[in-house]
Structure 1
């Protein structure tokens, strides 16, 4: 089987990470893959915020849990030490699709490099709040960006998740 197709078939969402930090070189390689995602009219509108600072990561996690309605101490990022947050420029008609493709590339690249990943939602809600707007401002990011997703990255703690059977009747050929 083709190596790329095999990565697509074997990637799983990881929901239990070790706290060990991923080397910067590996994070950078995953980010590079994200920047090569397809985008409508090659707009390349999505941006990636790499969060490796534990204090900031924990703050974002706490707000994410609050948005979910979870109790204090719940970690929706499953202890992942790295968060790659994808945002996209809402003025681009394909921004949501473009940002989703970036998320897919990040997760596939991570899997190919032996790093677990999971798409965590609520990036949109986080960046609608003052804390999210303040983070963008502190990074010098201007424009009308929407949070697309949080890509949790880390080493898998325990066994790699097993696959779920594929549902039938999802492909239709028209000859």
Structure 2
């Protein structure tokens, strides 16, 4: 079977990461793959904020926890040492789709390199808040961006589950 198709079939969300960091070369390769996602009219509306700084990572996790309504001490990123945050320029009519494709590329590229991942939501709420706006300002990012998602990445602390069988009515053919 084609290697790309193997990756697509084997990728699973990881909900328990080791604290071990992802090697810089792998991290850069995953990020590069995100930048090659298709975008509407080729406008490349998304941006990626790569967070490997533990202090900032933990602050973002805490903000995400509060938005999600979980108890204190819960880590919505499941211990992942790195977070790739995807935002997209709201002035583009395709921004949500563009950002979603970037997220898919990030997760599939990670899998292809033996790095595990999970999509974590609430980036929209984070970057609409003063907390998120300050991160953008501190990074010198200007524009009207909406948070699309967090791609938490790292190495699984335990084996991941097998894929569920695909449902029978997933595809309808018109010939």
TM-score by length of 2: 0.99
Counterpart for residue 118 of structure 1: 118
1:90 Cα shift? 0.3
Say if 1:107 and 1:118, in contact at 8 Å, map to a contact too: yes
Distance 2:76 2:161 in 1: 17
Counterpart for residue 105 of structure 1: 105
Gaps of at least 5 residues in structure 1 are none
Q: How many residues align?
A: 175
Counterpart for residue 91 of structure 2: 91
1:158 Cα shift? 1.0
Counterpart for residue 15 of structure 1: 15
1:160 Cα shift? 2.3
Cα offsets for 1:100-134 (capped at 9, x unmatched): 00000000000000000000000000001101000
Distance 2:127 2:27 in 1: 23
Gaps of at least 5 residues in structure 2 are none
Counterpart for residue 78 of structure 1: 78
Distance 1:152 1:72 in 2: 20
Tell me the secondary structure at the aligned position of residue 125 of structure 1.
helix
Structure 1 runs (4+) greater than 3 angstroms displaced: none
Say if 1:14 and 1:161, in contact at 8 Å, map to a contact too: no
1:174 Cα shift? 0.8
* Aligned-CA RMSD value: 0.6
